[in-house]
Each structure stands twice: as structure tokens, then as C-alpha cells.
Structure 1
């Protein structure tokens, strides 16, 4: 049983919702299975001619004996046609987990982009003693991107101006309970306005939002926290920080890292520790950046800073790849002199 008590208020700076307002799944598996969020798919080499796919699959064996297994992965295009296949054998020791790495090649790939959000699917089948004991699907897109300090953001080699919005999780008058069609309608309206980017302000989004972004062609800044150890409201996440921040950040990265729409991770928004030269901002920022990189090195890390100053230790020592700036419009022209060699992105502007 799950009991929800949301009586301690205020615990957020916006409407947080109450109760179980996102979908919950109970997954039944065999005793040998692909772990929860158990695949990690990257595309380290991409061109118009070919794309190299690296797929890591984490498997668990909860039996009392070693388990010889075969993992066969088939990659299909958007029409369901097979375009690549790989098969690997391994023995998973009893009561343990093991990782299998597979390399696949897709010829003449269709690249995922804002205008053409083309999706492939990797289906991994686990066989034990000639019987399929688990099937795990990983939707993905093939694309590459880069940030240039002088020229901006490039997707698949083409410069893209990011027209982004900060998108809170609630659905207005419909409340906080997730509704896929309502999310889709929001994105349809944003697309019609010319929006191509979403910042999940200021918490991990519902997975349905990321699935829609993959399918509809939005790039996403996936954001983890609105506060760290220092509170913004009396009963907010700062009370749970010490016990939960590492697990929560790891879970966000593990859950979301296969989405082609995600192009940057954000470890915080207007964190209170950033002010007045507080060394904690740099120390905690470095810890969080390390957690992210331990699970995904394919995307840069930022944090949305509203103290754009050399005294901000989050900027100076927080291991950010890109400095996020909230407002501070008067500081932007000075940025190259304040932070030589650094790249910035406007995380919240008007």
C-alpha cells in the first residue's frame, strides 16, 4: 500500500499536485531479465552513409544457479523493417548482474531532427535454455549535435536557433495528473508558435512528455532540481536532499538517457547556494556533475544561474559544461570577459 500525505505546506514554489499524479507500472519478469531502465544506447559515429550504434544491456539473474543466456537485438526503422542485428552470449552468475555490449551499424540512416523526428527501435530478446525469457524495447533516434561558443547550437551539422520555453509539469485547469493528450495539445500549440525547445522546469518530467518530444520534434533540457540543501519554502525538497538527491538524479539519467530529444542536462535552477561566494555551490555542483557523467557523457551539463558573477562558485567550480543564465541581461555582453573561454545558454529569459 502507498499512503500520500501532502499536508505540510508550502512545499513548492508552484502547484505541485497531490497524490499519485503520474502513471505507475508494475512489471512482472522472469528470474533472468533486463534490469529496470537496463539499456543505454548511443550513436558515437554518425554520417549520411552510416551510423554506429553502441548498446549496453544490463541483465539480472535472481536464480540460485549460473545462467547461460543469448541476447539478440534487432534494430527496425519507422516502418518496422529490420536494418541491423546483433547476437551475444554470456553467462550471468547466480544472484548477480552483468552487462552485455553490442555494436550495430545502420546504413544510410535517417537522422532525427526537429523537422523530421525519425525514430528507430531496438528490440532485445533474452534467451535461456532455448526459451525467450525477456523482451526489451528501446526506441531511439540517430542524430549528432554540438555547441559552438561563437556560432551557437548545431544539430546534424546545421545551425539551429533554439526557441525554447520553460514548461512546468501541470496542465493548467486540468491539474497535475498526467494526461498524454493534454500534453500533446500543449506541444501542438507551442509548435504552432514556433517553439522548438522545452526546459522541464524545474524537475524531471513525466516520461510521456519525453516520448512526445521524441515523436514531435522538440529538443529538451532535462532538469533535476529547484533547490539543493538550502530551502526555498519551508517543507520543500531540502528536507530530503541528503537522503535522496543521489538516487533521484541517477534515476532521472537512467530513465531518460535514451531519448533523442534530450540535448542537455540541468542540475539545478536558481540554486540558493550560488549567492555570495558560498563554496557549497561549487562543491555540490561538482558532485552532481560527476553523478551525471558517470551515467552519460554524451550530453553537456548546465545549471540555471541567476547570479551571473565571478563570485558564483557553481559557475567557477561546479564542473558545468555550459553556463545557464536566468535573466541577467545586462551581464550577457560582459560574459566573454567575465568567463573567458566559457559557453553560455539562456536558460530563462524574457
Structure 2
């Protein structure tokens, strides 16, 4: 039967004039210089090398599986160049049976330099070079299921729910003419139905995949059989759900209103860049679940299959996209289509995914944008529907792009990246722009794909203002945005930018170079900023109370407003053991108090409580003030 051997250990790596290193995968050479500012991280050709013994095989076929290499690479086995791949976020699989020797030398040349023919070429995140996801040796029996297009799984599943009836069709092919049997198993492993490839198999009493409340998954099993003997077996998880987007009422899941309120996320971490572990992805999902989000925009590229599995298992509705971003390049038309094909085909079976994102802020560089770009969007949109008629397509529009721009009206839905209240003043304009769209295009669904403000948990102010990068300003900004959404039920989805701080080597804001600090959680995932908790108050059913500005300890003020976020209806505040008062309300509770020399603050709601300490000082604590000298350079070129 099938075997998989992880090849992550015992590699050597060399790049530029740096000495050769002994490393293990996942790996990037930009874990440090891609996050330290200056927009000067190393973009070059790195050489990875590994020696391995030929696996014990007789008639089996052997493949190499690379889960992602950024951004282009050549695979060389025993001196022969056997594969070339362009695109840094998708899987590719290479058959190596005929190239194997008893002792094998595998060399991978990896290149993260800028090329006009490969996306991304300009964006507000670091393009980490390296083999940053797993590499596996796959051993398949002589008679086996074949991979689908673009290194996608052997089973391509088409679950459908229409008029209360559920069916399943499965595409599968083998390298022989032997019998293929299809089975559908429930969560407990019981066989529900059996069938053949390409049959419409009726599913009795289907259990729907129903978002956060009940993300039920079945298992599809494919068996290759000859005269009763099992030759090969493959499986895939599948979920049955149906959805629609109503331009007046928003998103519906399984026939019921299901407002999509969530976050966007990048995948990188401090010092390791994109070379993250499964434990890292588990931690990210745990934080997403804690805040109560029901949707993720997985930006701005294809993420690890393991994370899509987590979204399936946890009921997170996903917008998944390709890195067709910021700057259009005619030379990259074919690469955009190739990356879209890989995204659709490799992620096809994930019930969590409902939208294929075609592009992000593609009108930013106006000299490059024009009729060729619009034509390319039309071609990609049509191609996405041809490859997958079951899902919608979307585009994330640049904030300065007018609602009348034709590129906003090609895909099924549109969302805007709007930063009124951060890059430009006056937060309410965000709502006005959305209302203008809804007025002029009442039949066109609209959402918010990005919005946010920088927030540093070490910077504080009693009078926060735009660009001060304080934790207080970020929290107040998001309070306003949540009130904006309450008034606009027509929004099909909203995605905070961003769930986590992330690496963007061109940035120099907040006193920390190389990082975009718009996250609700810090880059290392250790600190939940105050803004995290206002969303938790709106979205999560897990009871809590949170005192804001608890890191703002030293204050010169005589009085203070103590603000509490909670999803409870009543909060009581104490200072130095004395009851200040009790307030009833929703989400946000404010208490005015006179500050003593030392203030031990406690907020209580039932058996829930949170505490903070404020010390009254004579002089301002300058560590709370944004250092001078930052800028807003953000584009990786």
C-alpha cells in the first residue's frame, strides 16, 4: 500500500557568499533579514542539497512532493534537471522512479528574486525565500490511483445539496483498468453508501457541514480492486453544505442567515518567516476560535493544506486567493492562471472554502492597470467558474478605486480594502462608501476585505489619535467599525486586517521595523491586544470580562475612564477594594474614577473577573510615546 516518508532532515543549504549550513526543513533564509526593516532582505538563488538511500521497492512508483517552495525552483536528481516550478505557495509532485539510484543526490535551486512574469512582485509583506513547507517521498503501489490535475488529490469530490436532497459525485482514475469502488463513511467510520466514479450517489439523511455550530465531515474512500484484492486506497474528507450571497441580506449558509464576520491572516512568524510548523497553525486556529470569528480570508496566497483542514474541522468559512496583487504585469498573465488552477484543484475538496479570490488591490499602480488587466480578470473569472461552478469568485478592491471601476464588477462579489480612520482621517467614510455601492449597485454584493489600524501594546495615551500607534487608538477604531457593521446587514462579509502582526520588511512604524502591526494579536502570538477583546465581546459566546489599557500603568492624570469589554450584560468595578459602581449594557462598559497614588482595579461579572494596576506618577512615561523617525514605506520590490 501507499507510504509517505518525510524528507525534512539532513539538508545542506548555501546562498550568496554565506557559508554552507546544515539545516532541516521547513526553512527560509529570510527569517531574520525579512523582518528587520529597510526593504533590503536577501533575494537570490539558494541551493538545497540532500542525499538519501533508494527506498525498498519492487514495482512501486516513487514521487517527490514539495508542499511549497518560494518562489521558483529547479529540482535536480542525480545530476538531471527533472522539474521546474514557478509560484511560491502551492504544492507540486514529481515522479522520480526512473531517476532513482541506490544512493541519490537531490538538489533544489530556489529563487526568490523579482520577476515580472511571477506573482507577487509588489506587496505589503515579505516574500520569504526557501523550501518552507514539508518535502515527502511518496511510494505508490504499481497499480494505483493517479493524481488529479496540478498535483491535486486522487479523489475529486462534488458534494451537492439541492431541494433538500444530497448527492455525491467523485472523479477518480487509476493507471490500470481495474475496478474502482467509492464509499462514503460517516464520522464514526460506518459506510453510508457505495458507488462508482462519476455516478450521482444519493446520500440519505445527510448531515450538513454547518459552520461553527456543527462542522460535520464525512470521509470519501476510493478503492482500486482486482478480483477482490485491494491494490490501492485513497481517502478525502468532504462536507455537504449550500450557500448563497444576498445583496440585501448578506451571506446564507444552508438556507439560514449567517453573517460572515472574521479576520484575515498571513502565515509567518518571528525569525522563521513562512517556515512554520503544524503546532504554529494549531495555535493560530485556537486564537481564531477564541475570538469567535466564523470566517477567514487566507491572504494573499494559497496556505498549507493542513490549515485548510483545520478550517474544515472547525467550521471556518474561507475566502482563499492567489497572490495576484497590487501591481499588474502582462508578462504574468499565464502565471496568475497557473496559480489559480493550482489553488482551485488542490483545495477543491475543502467545504470551508466558498470563494476564490481573483486579485487584491490590483489597481494600486495606475500605470500598469488598464484594459489588459481588465481582460485578464475576465479570463480568470470565467476560468474559475469553468473549473469550479460550485463556488463564487471575488475581488478585493483598492481603497482609492472608485465604485464605478469596471474591475470591481467582474467577479460574483466584491469587497473593499478601506482604511479611513487610519491612513486617511474620518472613520465614518468607510460606511458611506459601502452605502454608495449599495445604492448604485443594489444587486451587487459588497463586503469589507480589509480594514484596520496599527496598534502597539507598549504605546499608550489617555487621548489617542490617528498615527500614534497606541493600543488605545486601535481599540477605539475597531469599536467604531463594529458599530458601522451593525447598521449594514447587507454586507456579505467583513475581514479585519489583520488577525496577527506580520513581516513586511519595508515598514518602519510603531518603533519596531519590518513589521505590520495591524494585528489583533502580536507577531509572536503571545499578546492579545485590547482590540482582540472588543471582537471577542461581539462574536464569542464564551463568557469573559476584560479591562482595557492594563499595560498603561504609569499615568499623570487625576481621573481616568476605565473601559471594560465583555459579552456579559452587567459589570461591577472596584478600586482598591471599594465598589465604584455597577453598569448594565452591551459589549463596552465605562467607569470614571478618581485616581489614587496606587489603584488596584478589578472588574467583576458573576464569577468572572479581571484586574489591572494604575500608578499615578508626576511625569509622563516616555516609553509609552511613539519614537520619532518612522515612515510608511510598505512595498516589497
Question: Which interval holds the TM-score relative to the shorter structure?
Answer: 0.7 to 0.9
Query: Quick one: which of 406, 431, 442 aligns to 1:313?
Result: 406
Q: Distance in 1 between matches of 2:445 and 2:379?
A: 21
Q: Distance in 1 between matches of 2:377 and 2:451?
A: 22
Query: Quick one: which of 172, 178, 181 aligns to 2:276?
Result: 178
Q: CA RMSD in A?
A: 2.6
Matches within 5 A, 1:105-116: 105-113=202-210, 114-116=212-214
Query: Quick one: which of 178, 186, 191 aligns to 2:289?
Result: 191
Task: For residues 259-296 of structure 1, give each alpha carbon's deviation from its aligned partner in whole angstroms, at most 9, with x where no partner exists.
Answer: 01101110111113785882233211111112211211
Verify the 8 A CA contact 1:33 1:133 in the aligned structure 2: no
Task: For residues 194-237 of structure 1, give each alpha carbon's deviation from its aligned partner in whole angstroms, at most 9, with x where no partner exists.
Answer: 21111111111111110111111211100112427636xxxxxx
Q: What is residue 382 of structure 2 aligned with on the other side?
A: 290
The answer to whether residue 370 in structure 2 is matched with residue 278 in structure 1 is yes
The answer to whether residue 321 in structure 2 is matched with residue 223 in structure 1 is yes
Matches within 5 A, 1:50-199: 50-57=165-172, 59-61=173-175, 67-86=176-195, 88=196, 100-113=197-210, 114-128=212-226, 130-172=228-270, 174-199=272-297
Verify the 8 A CA contact 2:396 2:414 in the aligned structure 1: yes
Q: Distance in 2 between matches of 1:167 and 1:185?
A: 13
Moved more, 111-120 or 26-35: 26-35
Tell me: CA distance 1:263–1:274, structure 2 relative to 1, closer, same or farther (3 Å).
farther
- 1:137 Cα offset (Å): 0.8
Verify the 8 A CA contact 1:226 1:268 in the aligned structure 2: yes
Q: Distance in 2 between matches of 1:124 and 1:160?
A: 33
Q: Rg larger in 1 or in 2? A: 2
Tell me: CA distance 1:142–1:19, structure 2 relative to 1, closer, same or farther (3 Å).
same
Query: Quick one: which of 440, 443, 455 aligns to 1:338?
Result: 440
The answer to whether residue 353 in structure 2 is matched with residue 255 in structure 1 is no
- 1:52 Cα offset (Å): 1.3
What secondary structure is seen at the aligned counterpart in 2 of 1:248?
A: helix
Tell me: CA distance 1:27–1:7, structure 2 relative to 1, closer, same or farther (3 Å).
same
Verify the 8 A CA contact 1:68 1:128 in the aligned structure 2: no
Verify the 8 A CA contact 1:279 1:313 in the aligned structure 2: no
Q: What is residue 127 of structure 2 aligned with on the other side?
A: 16
Q: Distance in 2 between matches of 1:33 and 1:126?
A: 7
Q: What is residue 395 of structure 2 aligned with on the other side?
A: 303
Return the structure number with greater helix share. 1
Q: Distance in 1 between matches of 2:168 and 2:229?
A: 26
Aligned residue pairs, count: 322
Q: Distance in 2 between matches of 1:8 and 1:322?
A: 31
Q: Distance in 2 between matches of 1:274 and 1:254?
A: 30
What secondary structure is seen at the aligned counterpart in 1 of 2:138?
A: coil
What secondary structure is seen at the aligned counterpart in 2 of 1:27?
A: strand
Verify the 8 A CA contact 1:274 1:281 in the aligned structure 2: no
Tell me: CA distance 1:310–1:333, structure 2 relative to 1, closer, same or farther (3 Å).
closer
TM-score after normalising by structure 1: 0.83
